[in-house]
Copies of this chain bind each other. A is one copy, B any other.
Amino acid sequence: MIQFQCDYNEGAHPKVMQRLLETNMEQTVGYGEDLYCESARRRIQEACGNPDLQVHFLVGGTQTNTTVIAHLLRPHQGVVAAESGHISVHETGAIEHTGHKVLALPAHEGKITAAQVENLVLEHRADSSFEHTVQPGMVYISFPTEFGTLYSLTELEALSDVCQKYALPLFIDGARLGYGLASPACDVALSDIARLADVFYIGGTKVGALFGEAVVSKSHALMRDFRYSIKQHGGMLAKGRLLGLQFEALFTDNLYLDISRHAVNQALRIKKALQDLGVPFLMESPTNQQFPILPNDAVERLSKKFLFTPWQRVDESHTAIRICTSWGTTAENVDTLIAEMQNLAIS
């Protein structure tokens, strides 16, 4: 079976593996205070264009979201998010487990707007029983979203402005950050993310690392004592250097963006082939996730050779599926998929 069901099917990029291997028997101190972590921090600061950024390394995405959000909120506050946001639906209530409500907003293609956030704040303040409702305390968005869509620079700036206006920290979940930044449709640079987000993370797990996420913040005040929170949430890896080594490799010679571009290109090849066949899409995604709407029998026949994710029943006879590429997707596998689709004359 050829797998397109997610972007964590393979291990790590060979250059990442090589660094882990060649340093394997070196001795370092633990908990992220070694020289490899230090080096990775500097490279990330450089890539973001700001030497004053705080950088911390955690193991996985749910852990990172939980740790950051629990660190930033006061007990009576909630986090504003798209109702389709990862924290709203796919983390087994990890945010609520730390005591906070996810204030879910209706989303359009996975995105929320500055106007929605402002309305929520103003409605909360205007409510005569406001103290009986959860106070909006921060804003969470994903870039790219869970549907592969992207915020434009203008949209991000508007969100950042409204967050600043109402003193709401803006947190960007970048589990797939590379696949957004490397898209030809993206007008946002890493330095923009670093400038507009109060806290964000650079996803490694889905973009070339074995595992690992790099939390980045311009605000030393918000991140005060953050290492306590990392430890409390089980995210302080004993052999922290494993995270440093991986991010050092990913931020050497532009590897992170190069391998992201490869993934996006493969996804866009699939998209183009399906468009040529006249296949409609559930939504317009310019990144590594594509959501074509296929006849049910085509879905069934494809599923004999390929793993992908059934996403949503569209009507009696059609289903939207998710096809995911990654840094590890081979052109050959994509060729095979496209050929099979053409062969089936899907439309």
User: Which positions in A face B, CB cutoff 8 Å?
Assistant: 1-3, 5-6, 8-12, 14, 17, 20-21, 23-31, 59-64, 66-67, 70-71, 74-76, 78, 89-94, 96-102, 128-129, 131-135, 205-206, 210-211, 225, 227-239, 242, 307, 309, 328
Report chain B residues within 8 Å CB of A239: 8, 11, 205, 210-211
Report chain B residues within 8 Å CB of A231: 62, 91-92, 94, 131-132
Docked-complex contact B97 and A205, CB < 8 angstroms: no
Look across to chain B and name the residue whose beta carbon is closest to the beta carbon of A2: B27
Would you give the shortest CB distance from A120 to chain B, in whole angstroms? Answer: 13
The secondary-structure label for the interface of chain A is loop
Known pairs A59-B59, A59-B60; A92 contacts B29 (CB<8 A)? no
Bound Cα distance from A8 to B66, whole angstroms: 26
Bound Cα distance from A311 to B11, whole angstroms: 39
Given A6-B238, A131-B225, A233-B234, 9 other A-B contacts at CB below 8 A? A10-B24, A11-B26, A21-B21, A92-B229, A94-B234, A97-B99, A97-B233, A99-B99, A131-B231
Docked-complex contact A232 and B76, CB < 8 angstroms: yes
Bound Cα distance from A135 to B211, whole angstroms: 27
Report chain B residues within 8 Å CB of A234: 59-60, 62-64, 66-67, 94, 233-235
Docked-complex contact B28 and A9, CB < 8 angstroms: yes
Would you give the shortest CB distance from A66 to chain B, in whole angstroms? Answer: 6
Report chain B residues within 8 Å CB of A67: 234
Would you give the shortest CB distance from A216 to chain B, in whole angstroms? Answer: 19
Would you give the shortest CB distance from A60 to chain B, in whole angstroms? Answer: 6
Bound Cα distance from A64 to B59, whole angstroms: 14
Report chain B residues within 8 Å CB of A28: 3, 9
Docked-complex contact B29 and A5, CB < 8 angstroms: yes
Look across to chain B and name the residue whose beta carbon is closest to the beta carbon of A86: B132
Closest 8 CB pairs of A and B: A63-B234, A76-B228, A11-B24, A92-B232, A93-B134, A9-B27, A3-B27, A8-B238
Would you give the shortest CB distance from A82 to chain B, in whole angstroms? Answer: 15
15 examples of A-B residue contacts, CB within 8 angstroms = A17-B24, A25-B328, A29-B307, A63-B234, A64-B234, A75-B229, A76-B225, A90-B132, A91-B132, A92-B231, A92-B232, A93-B99, A96-B99, A96-B134, A131-B236
Docked-complex contact A211 and B225, CB < 8 angstroms: no
Report chain B residues within 8 Å CB of A238: 6, 8, 60-61, 205-206, 211
Docked-complex contact A90 and B27, CB < 8 angstroms: no
Docked-complex contact B27 and A12, CB < 8 angstroms: no
